[in-house]
Amino acid sequence: MFEAMITAIKECNIIEISGLNSDFKNYYNQNALFDIRFFLSRLTLERMHHAITNIQQMGHEGRIFPERNPKIPVVQSITKFFNPLVRDNKEQRTAVEHIVSETSGIAPYLIHGPPGTGKTVTIVEAILQLVLKNSKNSILVCTDSNNSADYIATMLVKYANYFPDRKGKLLLRANSRFRTWDIPEALKSYSNGMTSSEYKNVPITKFRSYNIVVTTLSHAAKFAKQLRNDKPHITHLFIDEAAQASEPACLIPASGLLHPKGLLVLAGDPLQLGPVVISHKAKEIGLGLSLMERLKSKCSLYSDARNDPNYIVMLRSNFRSHPDILQIPNDLFYNGQLRSMSNMDRLSQLDILGVKSQSRAIVFHSVISKEQRLGKSPSFFNIMELEVVRHYVLSLIKRHKIPQEDIGIISPYIRQVHKIKDWLEEQGYYNIEVGTVEAFQGREKRIVIITTVREI
């Protein structure tokens, strides 16, 4: 019996693995048949269980069942902003000033950020202000995925020159050995490796030496384990896309690394993607309810009626979407509270396929077709929708001269994603990003093509 880790699934019967014992080559030949059994990695689940057990021992009950802060400090007005756009946005500025002033006490501070309202920009400004306020602050930034962690770390790197005295100690992007090694080049000097072969463990002394550490919720458990006999030193914990993470996942860094008097900031949107929970039983008993959504819906401190800026701010100015695109979710989910502040992009007026009809920023293209599957693969693809995607891509690039980097293609099915990627590579289009809905969470492109694959 041999054990290995799955690194990629190419087609329904092609699996890439790594970490096999070298003795395997003595048994392998092209005609040999093998039985394969798949086991779910229990590591993240074990980390969640430990976090729940640890929450009471570390005195963090007041974070998950918060009460009103009896001594709300005076809000400090900030005069120097790193990003002038945050300075000029009332809601973003309010959030930053209240976070820096720690008005919520040990209760989590919530930033409710609907799509395109600058949630991550607000977090970045707050983090930088905290470092500026006190160079001894230790800030941990966690997300549910490596893509999101890379994104926020890349935004922070842009301001590294503002802290010359912290050179080499300002920011660490702490990666797991088992991540997909597609790290942005901008993070090269801030990461503990850019490839699997370059990977280096981060000693706890090094972890403690940085002002800002960015990692995933699960990987934070590695540092919590190393610090289990020491007093937690993290003064501020930011969890981005918090509404997408399960409550036990959020407790991993909160219970093991955050100082008992430290501040927890949850940023996200409970009306977007929630935690991915496969078990129907687990969903029924609440695992699909994120910590952020539970607090917002069940704790009076965060109620919409109260809307107390000492505990929560909702960002309402949308800088990403054309009014045509924003109108539908604004009416359906946000009670018309969002304001469209985006500049009119010339792309919204394009007659993309040359059809002489009124151009709009949002186009619904009906495709009469049937989804398919390969063998026993659980994922679907749709050839006719793939053809439509091809037409749009070729028209955008060849007819309208749109840069590849401005185009994103989304599908909820990984098989369709692979089909599109294969075609793009055949055409030599290597800079068009293709992924699932989760991969694009919190991201933006000037043009997004969505292929839904299956019929309603």
Report the distance separating Cα 326 and Cα 328, nearest Å.
6
The token pair that represents 58 in the structure block = 């570390």
DSSP assigned state of 395? I
pLDDT in tens, the chain (456 residues): 788 877 666 655 667 777 677 777 777 777 777 788 888 788 888 999 989 988 877 778 888 999 998 888 888 889 899 999 999 999 999 999 999 999 999 999 999 999 899 999 999 999 999 999 999 999 999 999 998 999 999 999 999 999 999 999 999 999 998 887 888 999 999 999 888 788 899 999 999 999 999 999 999 999 998 887 788 899 999 999 999 999 999 999 999 899 989 999 999 999 998 998 888 999 999 999 999 999 999 999 998 767 899 999 999 999 888 888 899 899 999 999 999 987 766 666 666 766 555 557 888 898 989 898 887 777 899 999 999 999 999 999 998 899 999 999 999 999 999 999 999 999 999 999 999 887 787 678 889 999 999 976
pLDDT of residue 39: 80
The token pair that represents 87 in the structure block = 């300075």
The token pair that represents 418 in the structure block = 């692979």
**CA angle in degrees (0–180, nearest 5) for 411-412-418:** 55
Given its phi and psi angles, is residue 275 left (phi above 0), alpha (psi -120 to 50 degrees) or beta? Answer: beta
The token pair that represents 29 in the structure block = 């030949």
Give the global pTM.
Answer: 0.85
pLDDT of residue 125: 98
Report the distance separating Cα 260 and Cα 105, nearest Å.
11
Residue 5: exposed, middle, or buried by beta-carbon count in 10 A (0-12, 13-18, 19+)?
A: exposed
DSSP assigned state of 247? H
pLDDT of residue 409: 97
- Alpha carbons within 13 A on the beta-carbon side of 326: 23
Report the distance separating Cα 244 and Cα 142, nearest Å.
12
- Alpha carbons within 13 A on the beta-carbon side of 129: 25
Tell me what percent of the chain is helix, strand and coil, each rounded to the nearest 5: 40, 15, 45
| Residues pairing with 214 in the sheet | 141, 173
Residue ranges and CATH numbers for the domains of the chain are 43-324 (3.40.50.300), 344-450 (3.40.50.300)
pLDDT of residue 343: 74
pLDDT of residue 3: 81
The token pair that represents 179 in the structure block = 């991540």
Residue 6's nearest CA partner among 55, 32, 46, 39 is 39
- Alpha carbons within 13 A on the beta-carbon side of 87: 9
- Residue 430 CA, chain-centre distance (Å), reads 23
pLDDT of residue 395: 92
pLDDT of residue 353: 65
- What are phi and psi for residue 232, nearest 5 degrees? -55, 140
pLDDT of residue 209: 95
Residue 72: exposed, middle, or buried by beta-carbon count in 10 A (0-12, 13-18, 19+)?
A: middle
Q: Which stretches of 281-329 are assigned E, i.e. beta strand?
A: 312-314, 317-318
**What would the pLDDT profile of 259-311 be if each residue is shown by its tens digit?**
989 999 999 999 998 998 888 999 999 999 999 999 999 999 998 767 899 99
**CB of 442 within 8 A of CB of 151?**
yes
Report the distance separating Cα 450 and Cα 446, nearest Å.
13
